[in-house]
Amino acid sequence: MPTHPVDVAAYKDKVAFVGVGTTNRYGTIPEMDAFGMAAEAFRNALNDCGLKKEDIDGVVVGSGTGQPTPYDQMCHVLGLYPRVMLPYSNGGRLSGPSVVLMASLVHSGACNNVAFIYTNNARTARVRFGGEDEGASPINPAYGYTSPGAAAAMHLRRYMAYFGGTEQELGAIAVAERKHARMNPMAVMKDRPMTIDDYMAARYIAAPMRLYDYCIINDAAIVIIMTTTERARALKQRPIYLVGTGQRSGYSHYRFDDEWTYPAYRNVADQAFKMAGITNKDVDVLSYYDAFAGFLPFMLEGFGFCKQGEALKWIQGGRIEVGGEMPVNTSGGHLSETYVQGRGILVENIRQLRGECGQRQVKDAAFAMFMGVTPNASSYILRRG
Partner 1 sequence: MAYEKPRPRIDEVAQPYWDGAKQHKLVCQKCKECGGMWFPPTSVCENCLSPNLEWVPMSGKGKVWSFIIMHQLYYPAFASDIPYNIAVVKSQEGPKFVTNLVGVKNEDIKVDMPVEVTFDDVDDNLTLTKWKPAAG
- Closest C-alpha to 193, from 212, 215, 208, 166: 212
In angstroms, give the least distance from the CB of 265 to partner 1: 19
State how far the Cα of 13 lies from the Cα of 46, in Å rounded to an integer.
Answer: 22
Residues binding partner 1 (CB under 8 A): 128, 130-131, 133, 137-147, 150, 153-155, 157-158, 161-162, 203-209, 254-256
Instruction: Rank residues 25 and 157 by Cβ distance to partner 1 and give the closer one.
Output: 157
| CA dihedral sign of residues 125, 19, 367, 326 | negative
- Dihedral angle of Cα 143, 124, 180, 379, to the nearest 10 degrees: 60
Helix or strand (DSSP H, E) at 371: strand 367-372
In angstroms, give the least distance from the CB of 261 to partner 1: 13
Instruction: Rank residues 334 and 383 by Cβ distance to partner 1 and give the closer one.
Output: 334
In angstroms, give the least distance from the CB of 203 to partner 1: 6
State how far the Cα of 79 lies from the Cα of 54, in Å rounded to an integer.
Answer: 9
Instruction: Rank residues 109 and 138 by Cβ distance to partner 1 and give the closer one.
Output: 138
Instruction: Rank residues 143 and 185 by Cβ distance to partner 1 and give the closer one.
Output: 143
In angstroms, give the least distance from the CB of 209 to partner 1: 8
Instruction: Rank residues 58 and 294 by Cβ distance to partner 1 and give the closer one.
Output: 294
CB-based burial label for 287 (10 Å; 0-12, 13-18, 19+): buried
In angstroms, give the least distance from the CB of 294 to partner 1: 11
In angstroms, give the least distance from the CB of 31 to partner 1: 30
Beta strands in 36-194 (DSSP E): 58-62, 84-88, 113-121
Residues whose CB is less than 8 angstroms from the CB of residue 137 and which lie 6 or more positions away in sequence, other chains included = 145, 254
Instruction: Rank residues 131 and 277 by Cβ distance to partner 1 and give the closer one.
Output: 131
- Closest C-alpha to 326, from 283, 295, 378: 283
Largest CA distance in the chain: 58
Instruction: Rank residues 130 and 318 by Cβ distance to partner 1 and give the closer one.
Output: 130
In angstroms, give the least distance from the CB of 303 to partner 1: 23
**Helices 95-108 + 343-354 axis angle, to 10:** 60
